[in-house]
Amino acid sequence: MFTKFNDGIVVKNNGKTLQIRIVNSKIINVFITDKDEVRKDTIAIEKRKHNTPCNFDVSENSDIITIKTESLSIIVNLNDFSIKFLNLEGLVINEDYNGGVRFYNNDIRCYKKLNEDHYYGFGEKAGYLDKKGENLEMWNTDELMTHNQGTKLLYQSYPFFIGLNKKYTYGIFFDNSFRSFFDMGFESNEYYYFGAKGGQMNYYFIYGENIKEVVENYTYLTGRINMPPMWSLGNQQSRYSYTPQEKVLEIAKTFREKEIPCDVIYLDIDYMEGYRVFTWNKETFLNYKEMLKKLRDMGFKVITIVDPGVKKDYAYNVYREGIENDYFVKDKFSIPFIGHVWPGESLFPDFLRDDVRHWWADKLKDFVNEGIDGIWNDMNEPSVLDGINKTMPEDNVHYLNGYKILHSEAHNVYATYMAMATQEGLLKSRPNERPFILSRAAFSGIQRYAAVWTGDNRSLYEHLLLMMPMIMNLGLSGQPFSGSDVGGFGDDGQEELFIRWIEAGVFTPFLRIHSANGTREQEPWSFGKRCEDISKKYIKMRYEILPYIYDLFYIASQKGYPVMRPLVFEYQNDENTHNIYDEFMLGDNILVAPVYLPSKEIREVYLPKGIWYDYWNGKEFEGGKHYLIDAPIDVIPLFVKEGAIIPKQNVQAYIGEKQIDELIVELYKGSCGEYIHYEDDGISIKYSSGEYNLTDLKFEYVNGILKIYINRIYSGYKNGIKKYKFVFKNFNKLDKIFINDHEYKAENYVIEI
Ligand code: GLC
């Protein structure tokens, strides 16, 4: 009945075709169709991998086919093609409900039994961490500053989720770029379903022993971030808009005068001439080259916004070239589509086409060659201000790999293709440097091209809370590099809110202060001395823990793990963590519990099982309990895990200001601890050809004797750390200290070697 191929099987029955591909022993691709068509991947799937066939056995017994891999059994009922996934112990991990896949007119669905307690992931969704009981939709949407906890559609689409049950974990990635739906127990207590308004029933079942492994396997499929330039982890300042050029310089200078570290300044849409992309305003930015040079001399990087909409203007070369070469998205009558965005009537490059991306990349290359360091892609849902449902018509026409597709299919992936073009342009300009791109809209796989932020929030406490589950679910959906507009974009910022936001924001992967035009100015010094001092303290702290954050990015690039993690990611067996959305882990060692209500100087904090130390005063806590923690205005509750090793460095005004030779290694008491530290030049792509170092730092602590081991496990980068300064935290009894078997004496709990 079935045909076996080296990567799976194909069966036909009742006018339907089922293809099961074994991507590896834990990742199974299911494709079911009632048409004569071949399976298509979206841009989410990383192409260069997944072609090593893996061992599996297939057997057939009356109406049942059983496929066995090294980790799973997949049981297919040939009558209705319903599928069951079991682990090696025979435990059912996931099972179709009532026949599984159904085809309606232009609507496909897959029904599954609802056996899980929690569902995480789904990328950038408003609301809380766990999405059980909700119905969700994927359709990139510019909410124009009106979103709240209940908003269904936001800028990004990640048709991926993780199911957690007491006994198992798995993920499902629905590789379909049409408007898709996920009903996670909203309609029924017995089943959940996912489906789409078109396209194919093409999904991946992703098994993992725990959430960590599911994320690792999901990012094996959809790719992981490349190491970002280290400066993109620094503090970044933005506003819609800093104009004229003198204002940009004044802001930059103020950071330096006030000694508040800052790496990047953003230029929002007003730097352009009439919002024409790749131009400079002739009045307000007349001497932009001089401005760029001065910023560079002060150690600033510059990121400019580049939107997709190209102004309709015959005198404008980008428009003319686009029209002459037929590069723009068309309407259903094959006429270039025109919609309103900031420049007025605008046309939209069809970024799905290779030739269009190459053209855009060339334009971008010339533009950034003048001294731009990174690109911010906005309005790329694409947002069309006068469009039906804020975007272009779904029957607009794109071309992908030479084939015509409609906007209904292209919409959700448009921004990711734009990010791909942008990455190509930055690499054309500086082939040896790591590109940095920030994107508002996205589809799964965006992590290979760009960082993202959560769009137009507002200066409201609700939005400070909201950013936590949003960034955590993005992290669980393969995108580790995200952040929120610190201080809030819309509405006037307020002092206390800004303080609380910066306190939390410095621990989010992407740190950028941004605010809308017409709102109160929002720099760290805009709200008076108290706010300035507290902001400075926390921004400095970000620069201090930068080696730790950079290490987390290294882990993200290797395993796809989030930088900012929900507690359940680290403590899946502790049920109390399953629904925590207002605390998070920065990596596996630091727990952050932001204050996100006004006039609150105390916070309830749950600490998972184990021993924790209060970062500020060293107080020891036993986990597995809730505590009330004092949080005066300048304190965010922070806890470090026993046995933690936290690498730090001295603060700089901007990354690269000083040659850093010394690594400060904080050891927190515990019977043992281990940590791998990564180093490279922070800017070039040489790490990808081996120019990096990995150092294993380890300790054991028994009866007052501390033994530390420093072991270089990979050496490929010459300008790394030359000195270590060990700082001992909470070790109240230190009789003897050995470092690589040599005895050292600590002075004030510090040793420098
Ligand atoms: C959009 C962006 C915002 C930007 C503004 C002007 O609203 O989300 O960040 O400042 O457009 O470009």
Residue 393 banded pLDDT, cuts 50, 70, 90: very high
Look at residue 48 and tell me whether its pLDDT is greater than 90.
no
Tell me, yes or no, whether 274 and 174 share the same domain: no
Q: What is the pLDDT of residue 27?
A: 97
Instruction: Give the pLDDT confidence of 581-605 residue by residue, as tens digits.
Output: 999 999 999 999 999 999 999 999 9
Indicate if 602 and 666 belong to the same structural domain.
no
Would residue 640 count as lying in a domain? Answer: no
β-sheet bridge partners, residue 673: 699
Question: CATH number of the domain that 362 lies in?
Answer: 3.20.20.80
pLDDT at 1: 78
Look at the chain and report how many structural domains it folds into.
4
Q: Name every protein residue with a CB atom under 6 angstroms from any ligand 1 atom.
A: 240, 268-269, 305, 378, 440, 455-456, 489, 514
- Whole-number average pLDDT of the chain: 97
pLDDT-based confidence at residue 146 (cuts at 50, 70, 90):
confident
- State the average pLDDT over residues 84-104: 97
pLDDT digits (tens, 9 = 90+) for 702-744: 999 999 999 999 999 999 999 999 999 999 899 999 999 999 9
198 located within any domain: yes
Structural domain boundaries, residue 26:
2-222
* pLDDT digits 0-9 by tens, 503-555: 999 999 999 999 999 999 999 999 999 999 999 999 999 999 999 999 999 99
Whether 282 maps to a domain, the answer reads yes
Q: What is the C-alpha to C-alpha distance for residues 63 and 695, in angstroms, rounded to an integer?
A: 55
Question: Which pLDDT score is estimated for 49?
Answer: 63
Rounded CA separation 21/25 (Å): 10
- The confidence score (pLDDT) of residue 55 equals 92
DSSP output for 439-471: ESSEETTGGGT-EEE--S-BSSHHHHHHHHHHH
Q: Is residue 749 predicted with pLDDT exceeding 90?
A: no
pLDDT at residue 144, as a whole number:
77
CA torsion, ordered 723, 729, 733, 735, to nearest 10 deg:
0
What is the average pLDDT across 43-55? 80
* CA 289 to centroid of ligand 1, rounded, Å: 24
Residue type, 462: E
473 is a domain residue:
yes
Check whether residue 406 and residue 463 sit in a common domain. Answer: yes
220-263 pLDDT, tens digit each? 999 999 999 999 999 999 999 999 999 999 999 999 999 999 99
Give the list of residues 6+ apart from residue 617 with CB closer than 8 angstroms, or none: none
Which sequence positions are flagged as catalytic?
A: 378, 381, 456
Whether 213 and 262 map to the same domain: the answer is no
Residue 490 placed within a domain: yes
Q: Could you tell me if 503 and 368 lie in one domain?
A: yes
Residues belonging to the chain: 753
Residues 542 and 591 occupy one common structural domain: no
43 and 138 co-located in one domain: yes
Q: How far is CA 18 from the centre of its chain?
A: 33
Nearest to 649 by CA among 661, 629, 663: 663
The predicted pLDDT at position 747 comes to 87
Q: Domain containing 30 — which CATH number?
A: 2.60.40.1760
pLDDT category of residue 51 using cuts at 50, 70 and 90: low
Task: Tell me if 647 is assigned to some domain.
Answer: no
Residue 646 makes CB contacts below 8 A (sequence gap 6+) with 545, 548, 589, 590, 640, 665, 666, 668
Domain co-membership, 404 together with 510:
yes
Ligand 1: residue whose CA is nearest its atom 3: 456
Residue where a domain terminates, one of 515, 541, 559: 559
Distance 571 CA to ligand 1 centre (A): 37
Question: Of ligand 1's atoms, which has the minimum distance to the CA of residue 240?
Answer: 10
**Residues above pLDDT 70, as percent of the chain:** 99
- pLDDT in the model for residue 532: 98
Assigned domain for 328 exists: yes
Whether residues 594 and 615 fall in one domain: yes
Q: Please say which residue of 559, 592, 620 terminates a domain.
A: 559
Q: Measure the CA dihedral 113/117/121/125, to 10°.
A: 100
Among 156, 236, 265, 268, name the best residue to mutate to test ligand 1's pocket (greatest count of ligand atoms within 8 A of Cβ). 268
Task: Summarize pLDDT for 653-706 with one digit per residue, the tens.
Answer: 999 999 999 999 999 999 999 999 999 999 999 999 999 999 999 999 999 999
Question: Radius of gyration (Cα) for the chain, nearest Å?
Answer: 26
The angle subtended at Cα 423 by Cα 420 and Cα 429, nearest 5°, is 145
| Structure tokens that stand for 329 in this block | 């998205």
Taking phi over 0 as left and psi of -120 to 50 as alpha, with beta for the rest, 487 belongs to left
The amino acid that residue 664 corresponds to is: I
199: amino acid identity, one letter: G
Q: How far is the CA of 240 from the centre of ligand 1 (A)?
A: 7
Tell me what pLDDT residue 692 has.
98
383 Cα nearest atom in ligand 1 = 1
Q: Which amino acid is at 693?
A: N
358 & 252 share domain: yes
Q: Provide the CATH number for the domain around residue 693.
A: 2.60.40.1180
Q: Does the pLDDT value for residue 303 go beyond 80?
A: yes
| 426 CA distance to ligand 1 middle (Å) | 22
For atom 12 of ligand 1, which residue has the closest CA?
Answer: 269
Is 80 exceeded by the pLDDT of residue 141?
Answer: yes
Q: Is the pLDDT of residue 52 over 90?
A: no
Whether residues 591 and 447 share a domain: the answer is no
The residue among 559, 582, 615 that closes a domain is 559
- Residue 229 falls inside a structural domain: no
Question: For residue 333, what pLDDT band results from cuts at 50, 70 and 90?
Answer: very high
Distance from C-alpha of 145 to C-alpha of 155, rounded to nearest angstrom: 11
Q: For residue 412, give the nearest of 661, 622, 139, 52 by alpha carbon.
A: 139
35 and 58: one domain? yes
